[in-house]
Structure 1
Amino acid sequence: MIPQDSGIVAVRNILTRLCKRSGLSSDRLRTTEIDVAPLLDLLAVRQHARRHGVEPEEAVLPVVRNLAAQLEPTNRIIADAELSLGLLRETASDSVDLDRLYAADLGERREYLAEGWQLLHDTLDAEPTPRALTVRSLRATPERRAFTALASLLVNESVYDARPQAEPAVKSTPSPKAPATPAVRGVVTVFGDAVIDHIYFVDHIPMPGASVVGNSFEEHPGGKGLNRAVAAARLGLQVRLISAVGDDDAGKRVLDYLRSQNVDTDLVKVVPDAPTPVTAVMITSTGAAGLIGCRDDRIRLSAHDLRSTRIRSAVAASDAVLLTFEQPSAVIEQVMALVQRMEPRPLLVVHPGPPIALPQYLYRYLGAVDYLAGTSHDLAALVPEVAAASTTDTAQRLRALGVRSVCATEDFGCTVWSDRVNLQIPAFPAAMEDSPGAQAAFAAALVYRLVSTRRPADKDDYVWATAAMVATQSFGDVPGAMPPVSEIDRINRLASEEQH
């Protein structure tokens, strides 16, 4: 693959040369003497071709049209006219001469761009309109800027993992089959990370400067987002994950695993030329875990992603949204703001981990949070400006900021502060001190109860979700330990019998 900067230059040069004559078309790509291989090899083009069962030459035009429509107005107008993309054919007023704008000759298209500069910008409601150009001045900086911007989108486009329904998943490695689940009860969208966990089993987690001999090693898909998505799917919910992976073998393995667990991956974006994140997980015999995350900064959701109509529609169609703090702060803010503006809106269940810098920027959105669940450390990190006297003090401050229910979940127990109930659920009997999957299981189980009953959580719902944490006690495969409904029911029943 071509390095990123060189790739942008190569694609920009190809697009500039393809402007000549009648512009961009599949026939032109098949017959041109221009070396268009870098354009045909783009991840966005290849995935569009695979998704729709067409040749790469036929995939280029729809991909370019889609991305050109995302450019700022001046660059969009130039790219649209010079490549003859036809973006204004359906929306332009009668005053726009479409025959000249998309003429068969590039020179005529340029002449009309210069003549209709103000009119074309008015058509897109662009304010302020850049100063008028001549054909000569248009061919200098403006064209170069427009095609550089378009080439940058094409080279760096993060492509959603949508596939034709009839296409079978190609498994790079065998994945365990998802257990049988009850009928679908609700739609859940999860925002969070999907990674490959490198799991080291150790006697104890080493202190700084010390080393420890590992007992064994395993590798599994993981991540806070993936774990919650799998946990919710195991309970019979209809789940989609919005996350990012790299265009590598590890990314394919993550996607294959998610599909095998009945998680919709259509909105997982695939980032070209970037490795899927890896997390080193050290687990002791008691279940305590230490984590080291390694990731490429390109493997992130972005503010641009959140403007996608597909993502916004997915959130609007959800009964509940599960959000973790693994994404950039701007993305977390946008998800919370998006939910906050919706009417009616989905339930928003937030895990405030890992801690983020300047959580104060989130305070104005906390009124959209229905359930905030995490360890006492996670919760305290949200109010760093004060030294809370206790977790109760922290919870009260968060409730004052608008959170409807705060849940401190740790050591297989739970304390709740909410509009309906305030209670402490003692730790369930457990063979281990902790479990890496406990937080994910709690969040998914709580959402399951909420969307099943269609009412705010009561004591029994919190107790049932706490029982789900106990069901995750295991080594290694964290999402694989997520329990079905029957197992949570069994643990909840056993605990109830012991109390009586």
Structure 2
Amino acid sequence: MSDHSQPGSSDASYLVPIFESLRKYEGLKPTRLVGNRIQPLLRLAAVQNHVASTGEEPATAAVHVVVEQVQKLVDVSDRLVADAVLGLGIFADAYLSHQVPKRTVRILEAGGLGARRAALLANWEDLHRAFDVEAPEQPSDRNLRGPVEEQVFERLSRLLLNTGSGADPVVTADTITMLLPQGVQSEAVGKVVVVGGVAVDHIWRIETIPEVETSKMATHYARSPGGKGLNQAVAAARLGLDVSLIAAFTDDSDGLDIKAYLEAEGVDTSLMELVPGMSTPATGVFERPFGESAAAVWRNGVELDVTHLDKHGSMLTSSDVVLLTFEIPQKVLYRTLNLATGSTERRPVIIVTPGQPYTDDRLSGSALKKIDYLVAHIWELEKFAHSSQARYDPQLLSNDLFDLGLNSLCILGNRGGTIYSRHEEPISIAAPPSFLRESSITRDAFCAALAARLIEDRSLTDDAIRWAAAAMASFAEDYYLAPSPPRRERVDQKFREIF
């Protein structure tokens, strides 16, 4: 194992940990090049010169420079490994022209890290054949994840360090520092604070959920950062919003990985509460075809407390939107609502999702009055129904909630949904054109998109609702290929397609 030194080292190994971090999740993309830990890559002479000659943002320039140098790696296997592990998609045309299946090519470029590695190894010989070379012995999955990838990153780092090092940079280090992203994208518009939870999700895709004392073979397994608070924060950040997450996390390896993942996605983690010496909460999910699922949640006592929340009251009141979930203790939810609406000058829009409904009691009328949009599935709201008929009639249920003080109710279902407001006619939400059922994960994308459009439009317009529905639809459509919330350009594309 190499000793990865700091900038100034003669062997460029200080870049290797950066690539080891960037290979995770969706790979090396401009939007992931945020934060101080990425700056050594953005400060490279080759990247600085590319910025000066093209006018591109440093993050975009860095990806272009990496792509150029990957293609210059001497060994074909090194090129294939770097391309797949970093999710660059450089060789897609070459693969397709040599009859590599389209699905494999898409996974190599847009799948999760585990899926990209699996596709690389499963098609090892065919991918080499696209370059008219004989494939060397295929590495094991364990060796690929360890020494093989590290050595490829070492060789790529040396190429990057040497490129442009013989000439004076076209721009100075001071100039490039002014251009660097500082935790969030420079084009971010609107401040969002998310108060929720983080966890590790263990997801099994399975045809049918096992009966008691039986077992079933899963068709796929994935382990990834999760939690409704985390999902909504990442979804909002991917839409270009300035996002901070208030959540509790612990200092085990899972907790530290979750924090690193959030930072890589451009989410501000400085407001998170560290609860040391415990294990990260976990969720076990059985996911059936078409998005149906069942889950078991283990929280392990890693929860926000009111004292920590009180430290960040000014952040809540100064934000444009606050996103809240029921996965925090009820007393913390009440305190969040009070803090966010305590200012007499201005208050943020408050969007709440009652996932994992509280078992002890429903929300009080005073709390409901502070909620602008309650985004829910109808089964989560049974406790609020004043009659048995209201449990089956969304309009009656919304009237019951309005009587308690709620401002607007958004009910999502498998065939779209409806927004009910106290003084307005109901507004229909178009059904997402996807085989995947509406679920909690697509709801997180809907809430983030709704927040973005409420900030931009300053009111709930038909286009705002359609755009939020497009976010839900694009997430559902892309979920099995790349289970990550959509970026703004993807939502725009889907909006144009269906509306």
Both proteins in one fold, TM over 0.5: yes
Alignment check: 8 A CA contact 2:385 2:400 kept: no
Cα distance between partner residues in 2 of 1:445 and 1:372:
14
Match in the other structure for 2:429: 425
Alignment check: 8 A CA contact 1:197 1:220 kept: yes
String of CA shifts for 1:73-108, please: whole Å, max 9, x gaps: xxxxxxxxxxxxxxxxxxxxxxxxxxxxxxxxxxxx
Alignment check: 8 A CA contact 1:220 1:477 kept: no
Matched, 1:349 2:351: yes
Match in the other structure for 1:362: 364
- Find 2:488's aligned residue among 485, 488, 498: 485
Match in the other structure for 1:471: 474
Following superposition, the deviation at residue 360 of structure 1 comes to 3.7
Cα distance between partner residues in 1 of 2:317 and 2:198:
23
Q: Which amino acid aligns with 1:263?
A: V
Following superposition, the deviation at residue 386 of structure 1 comes to 4.2
Cα distance between partner residues in 1 of 2:329 and 2:347:
23
Cα distance between partner residues in 1 of 2:326 and 2:235:
18
Quick one: structure 1 residues 247 and 170, their matched pair in 2 at CA, closer, same or farther if it must change by over 3 Å? farther
Following superposition, the deviation at residue 332 of structure 1 comes to 0.9
Question: TM-score, with normalisation over the residues of structure 2?
Answer: 0.61
Task: Give the secondary-structure state (helix, strand or coil) at the position aligned to 1:486.
Answer: helix
Match in the other structure for 2:280: 276
- Find 2:462's aligned residue among 434, 459, 464: 459
Match in the other structure for 1:395: 398
Task: Give the secondary-structure state (helix, strand or coil) at the position aligned to 1:314.
Answer: helix
Following superposition, the deviation at residue 369 of structure 1 comes to 0.7
String of CA shifts for 1:442-479, please: whole Å, max 9, x gaps: 100000000112x221222112111211111245698x
Task: Give the secondary-structure state (helix, strand or coil) at the position aligned to 1:341.
Answer: coil
Quick one: structure 1 residues 276 and 385, their matched pair in 2 at CA, closer, same or farther if it must change by over 3 Å? farther
Quick one: structure 1 residues 288 and 248, their matched pair in 2 at CA, closer, same or farther if it must change by over 3 Å? same
Alignment check: 8 A CA contact 2:201 2:226 kept: yes
Quick one: structure 1 residues 435 and 472, their matched pair in 2 at CA, closer, same or farther if it must change by over 3 Å? farther
Quick one: structure 1 residues 395 and 251, their matched pair in 2 at CA, closer, same or farther if it must change by over 3 Å? same
Alignment check: 8 A CA contact 1:288 1:436 kept: no
Match in the other structure for 1:90: none
Q: Which aligned pairs between 1:28-427 and structure 2 lie closer than 5 A?
A: 171=21, 174-176=24-26, 177=28, 180=31, 183-208=187-212, 210-297=214-301, 299-308=302-311, 311-343=312-344, 344-381=346-383, 383=384, 386-387=387-388, 388=390, 389-411=392-414, 413-418=416-421, 419-427=423-431
Alignment check: 8 A CA contact 2:341 2:348 kept: no
Cα distance between partner residues in 2 of 1:179 and 1:414:
34
Q: Which amino acid aligns with 1:324?
A: T
Alignment check: 8 A CA contact 2:317 2:342 kept: no
RMSD between aligned residues? 2.5
Larger Rg: 1
Quick one: structure 1 residues 345 and 217, their matched pair in 2 at CA, closer, same or farther if it must change by over 3 Å? same
Any stretches of 5+ residues in structure 2 without a counterpart? 1-17, 32-184
Following superposition, the deviation at residue 216 of structure 1 comes to 1.9
Quick one: structure 1 residues 482 and 178, their matched pair in 2 at CA, closer, same or farther if it must change by over 3 Å? farther
String of CA shifts for 1:297-340, please: whole Å, max 9, x gaps: 1x0001222222xx112102200100000011111111112223
Q: Which amino acid aligns with 1:481?
A: S
Following superposition, the deviation at residue 380 of structure 1 comes to 2.8
Following superposition, the deviation at residue 379 of structure 1 comes to 2.8
Alignment check: 8 A CA contact 1:172 1:249 kept: no
Following superposition, the deviation at residue 178 of structure 1 comes to 5.7
Task: Give the secondary-structure state (helix, strand or coil) at the position aligned to 1:323.
Answer: strand
Alignment check: 8 A CA contact 2:273 2:308 kept: no
Cα distance between partner residues in 2 of 1:493 and 1:174:
31
Alignment check: 8 A CA contact 1:199 1:280 kept: yes
Alignment check: 8 A CA contact 2:231 2:444 kept: yes
- Return 207-216 or 226-235, whichever deviates more: 207-216
Cα distance between partner residues in 2 of 1:328 and 1:445:
25
Alignment check: 8 A CA contact 2:351 2:447 kept: yes
String of CA shifts for 1:205-225, please: whole Å, max 9, x gaps: 334554322112111101100
Q: Which amino acid aligns with 2:282?
A: V
Task: Give the secondary-structure state (helix, strand or coil) at the position aligned to 2:289.
Answer: coil
Residue identity (%) = 32
Quick one: structure 1 residues 370 and 178, their matched pair in 2 at CA, closer, same or farther if it must change by over 3 Å? farther
Following superposition, the deviation at residue 186 of structure 1 comes to 0.2
Cα distance between partner residues in 2 of 1:255 and 1:445:
23
Alignment check: 8 A CA contact 2:250 2:276 kept: yes
Cα distance between partner residues in 1 of 2:398 and 2:29:
37
Cα distance between partner residues in 1 of 2:252 and 2:456:
38
String of CA shifts for 1:14-45, please: whole Å, max 9, x gaps: xxxxxxxxxxxxxxxxxxxxxxxxxxxxxxxx
Quick one: structure 1 residues 300 and 385, their matched pair in 2 at CA, closer, same or farther if it must change by over 3 Å? farther
Cα distance between partner residues in 2 of 1:476 and 1:245:
28
Q: Which amino acid aligns with 2:356?
A: P
Cα distance between partner residues in 2 of 1:485 and 1:207:
41
Cα distance between partner residues in 1 of 2:327 and 2:449:
21
Matched, 1:495 2:498: yes
Cα distance between partner residues in 2 of 1:170 and 1:265:
21
Alignment check: 8 A CA contact 2:355 2:440 kept: no
Alignment check: 8 A CA contact 2:317 2:341 kept: no
Cα distance between partner residues in 2 of 1:178 and 1:374:
33
Question: TM-score, with normalisation over the residues of structure 1?
Answer: 0.61
Match in the other structure for 1:89: none
Following superposition, the deviation at residue 266 of structure 1 comes to 0.3
Alignment check: 8 A CA contact 1:286 1:434 kept: no
Alignment check: 8 A CA contact 2:203 2:286 kept: yes
Following superposition, the deviation at residue 291 of structure 1 comes to 1.0
Quick one: structure 1 residues 317 and 371, their matched pair in 2 at CA, closer, same or farther if it must change by over 3 Å? same
Alignment check: 8 A CA contact 1:321 1:346 kept: yes
Following superposition, the deviation at residue 250 of structure 1 comes to 0.2
Match in the other structure for 1:446: 450
Following superposition, the deviation at residue 436 of structure 1 comes to 4.7
Cα distance between partner residues in 2 of 1:431 and 1:380:
27
Q: Which amino acid aligns with 1:410?
A: G
Q: Which amino acid aligns with 1:378?
A: E
Corresponding residue pairs, total? 324
Cα distance between partner residues in 2 of 1:434 and 1:179:
30
